[in-house]
Amino acid sequence: MPLARRSLLKSASLSLLGLTALPPFLARAAEALPTGRRKVLVTLFLRGGADGLSLVPPVGDPDYHRLRPNLALGAPGTGDGSALRLDDTFGLHPGLAPLLPWWKEGALAAVHAVGLPQPVRSHFDAQDFVESGTPGVKATRDGYLNRALAALPTEATASAFRAVALQPTLPRALAGDAPALALESLERFRLLAPGRTGPISFDSLYAAAVDEALRSTGLETSSALSHVADKRLADQPPHHGAAYPRSPLGRRLQDLARLIHADVGLQLAATESGGWDTHILQGRERGPFTQRAKDLGESLAAFATDLGPRLEEVLVVVLTEFGRTARENGNRGTDHGTGGTVLLLGGKVRGGRVLGPWKGLAEPYLLDGRDVPSLTDLRAVLAEALMTHCGLATTEPVFPGLGSPPTLPGLLGG
């Protein structure tokens, strides 16, 4: 019986990491893999609701210290537990210190009070709405990045690496009809020596496919496998003396830099970092939040160092599903909030600034007396990234109903 599309996709995805041989008819397809430089958009999802008031703390606001007697970072220069100075109001968490040079060079910016248009404090629902790009609508079948693949300009022959998720499974944002790859690492993705037997025969698997579009997707995936093996991408050392942390995020960003340096036609990339749900003993300059922030700072700094001049072609958007409560809880942690913080890193970022409307943490400005409100729609930030950096002509196919998004003046160069 012919394999159904859903079953075939599931079978293919389960087999890729264990594939050890490339059938001849698929190996020939690798020769047509297009390459070339293009602008790359990278989304890094901090899953769990990262605390923006700790990543980029408003240390110049007295209400910040009032609401967080145990968690508030000190003003710059006040000793242990103090933030790094960004401007008169905001500081940078010391765990993100490796990123400070890019802030000073204007390649790093922050946007505060960013979130969904309506408060959603469920991790599952908030992540789904962020990645579907249709907040409040649970029936959306595909993700906003997958819709962007169809709307963005591309070459006549798309690369198998046009859209890649550097994580074990394909994220909701890349799910949909347009082909996208998910790989835990280049090391596990590449093929072993030709002629070795593998756990699945692509000849028989794709011979059973009756959907020509899916057949093409299989060819593209196999081309990608061959390309990774032939170019030995998993063995390429970092450029410019970059030193990545030996963490999942560090390894994923190192592999992403390898793909960018290899000019494989990458356009959209996604990865993630977990562990940002800090209800208990969040810590200030020490503790679980600082460990996550330190990993984020070191990984992103190594990635930017590795890219060197090629950072001009890359935009990294660091986002989360929601922020945390302005007031710390009784367990010296923070609970699910609303407005969070987005970080943007790239050569075309007009950075060195905290952008977006900000009202402060006085009681009249808090949502429900507890949260930073969402004063900037997260979709507007992502839409501007897709339009200004990637060349998206209109937001409607990607973010239906958003309309003309309010821009953040001067956020990105062309």
pLDDT number for residue 155: 64
pLDDT number for residue 264: 86
- Please give the mean pLDDT across all residues of the chain: 84
Task: Measure the CA–CA gap between 314 and 41, rounded to whole angstroms.
Answer: 6
pLDDT-based confidence at 414, cuts 50/70/90?
Answer: low
3-state helix, strand, coil in the chain (%, to 5): 35, 15, 50
Q: Is 81 helix (H, G, I), strand (E, B) or coil?
A: coil
Report helix angle 248-261 to 288-307, nearest 10: 10
Task: Measure the CA–CA gap between 38 and 181, rounded to whole angstroms.
Answer: 18
Query: Strand 340-346 to strand 314-320: parallel, antiparallel, or no bridges (unpaired)?
Result: antiparallel
pLDDT-based confidence at 404, cuts 50/70/90?
Answer: confident
Task: Measure the CA–CA gap between 100 and 84, rounded to whole angstroms.
Answer: 8
Domains in the chain with CATH codes: 33-190+232-389 (3.40.720)
Q: What's phi and psi for 138, nearest 5 deg? A: -90, -10
pLDDT number for residue 211: 36
Residue 261 half-sphere exposure toward CB, CA atoms < 13 A: 24
Residue 27 clears pLDDT 50, i.e. is over it: no
pLDDT number for residue 224: 59
Q: What's phi and psi for 375, nearest 5 deg? A: -90, -15
- 372, 376, 409: which is closest to 55 by C-alpha? 372
Residue 129 clears pLDDT 90, i.e. is over it: yes
Tell the residue number behind the tokens 């950096």, with chain if given. 389
pTM (two decimals): 0.85
191, 229 in Cβ contact below 8 A?
yes
Residue 167 clears pLDDT 90, i.e. is over it: yes
301, 98 in Cβ contact below 8 A?
yes
140: tokens are 């959306």
Kindly state the average pLDDT of the residues 178-201: 62
